[in-house]
Amino acid sequence: MAGSYAELDGQIWMDGTLVPWQQANVHLLTHAMHYASSVFEGERAYGGTIFEGRKHSERLIASGRHLDMEIPWTVDEIEAAKYETLEANGLTDAYVRALAWRGAGEDMGVSSARNPVRLAVAAWAWGDYYGDAKTRGAKLDIAKWKRPSPETAPYQAKAAGLYMIATMSKHAAEAKGCSDALMFDYRGYVAEATGANVFFVKDGEVHTPDPDCFLNGITRQTVLGMLRDRQIKVHERHIMPEELEGFEQCWLTGTAAEVTPVGRIGDYSFEVGAMARDVASAYEALVRA
């Protein structure tokens, strides 16, 4: 996409009303802008159907509760808003962003209990997140920032504030010519990329980090089910950084990333092999079924 997202044409659903794209604004003193009191979902529509849409809407509501922020819309109402947004913009294949946040209100300190919780849905056409990496394999840096302890942040929430270190890590990776960065957790175990979960292959078996301090992605769960349906042994466990040298294949999963093979992480190289290609193809078929 060329130009600013703020300058696109179309409609954005805000608090029950479709608003012209460039008028979908909030006040400077919106609480979320100052204190990160917001949660969101990233989803993709294929052929007019949002893949696992209800799971995303359920997680949005759950994320709000993790932040002590009750979202005043039901799953059914959020689903209806998403499809209304797609229709208003004439989209069938699109990225869908649902966002809930504490708006401007009576509170402007850390506390925000008296401020309204607002909801918006936007949708736009969006291609491959990592460009041509699906055929060539993405190149990842290794981030200096680590996913925090569960005692420091509600990792089960898809909360905006948790992505600050992801943004910094991705910026540093892009400055080195990489597509993304692999993040370790607070203990030093392999965790995830900045916005995607990670899988590895060794001797025909799959290894993936235990999501005990980072988001257990919906796409991750889908791919785990696909692997088990194929009778492929999966190990969900803690993975040490030095194990990267012994893995043969690697891929990322996420709504934006879909299933993207990885060719390199730091100094470690991986084959864009048969299993990675098969999982990517099977996922593409599933979401369009």
Say which amino acid occupies 39. Answer: V
Closest by alpha carbon to 39, among 19, 16, 23, 62? 62
From the candidates 158, 170, 176, 202, which is the catalytic residue?
158
What secondary structure does DSSP assign to 238-249, as a single string? Answer: ---GGGGGG--E
Residue 174: enclosing H or E segment and its boundaries?
Answer: helix 164-175
Spatial separation of the C-alpha atoms in residues 2 and 19, rounded to whole Å: 22
Contacts of 202 (CB under 8 A, 6+ apart): 246, 247, 248
Q: Which residue has the tokens 């078929």?
A: 285
Q: What share of the chain is helix, strand, coil (3-state, %, to 5)?
A: 30, 30, 40
The yes-or-no answer on residue 82 being catalytic is: no
147, 183 in Cβ contact below 8 A?
yes
With beta carbons less than 8 A apart as the criterion, state whether 66 and 156 touch.
Answer: yes
The residues, ordered by sequence, that sit 6+ positions from 27 with a Cβ below 8 Å of its Cβ are: 103, 104
In whole angstroms, what is the distance from residue 130 CA to residue 280 CA?
14
Owner of token pair 């913009």:
89
Positions annotated as catalytic residues are: 158
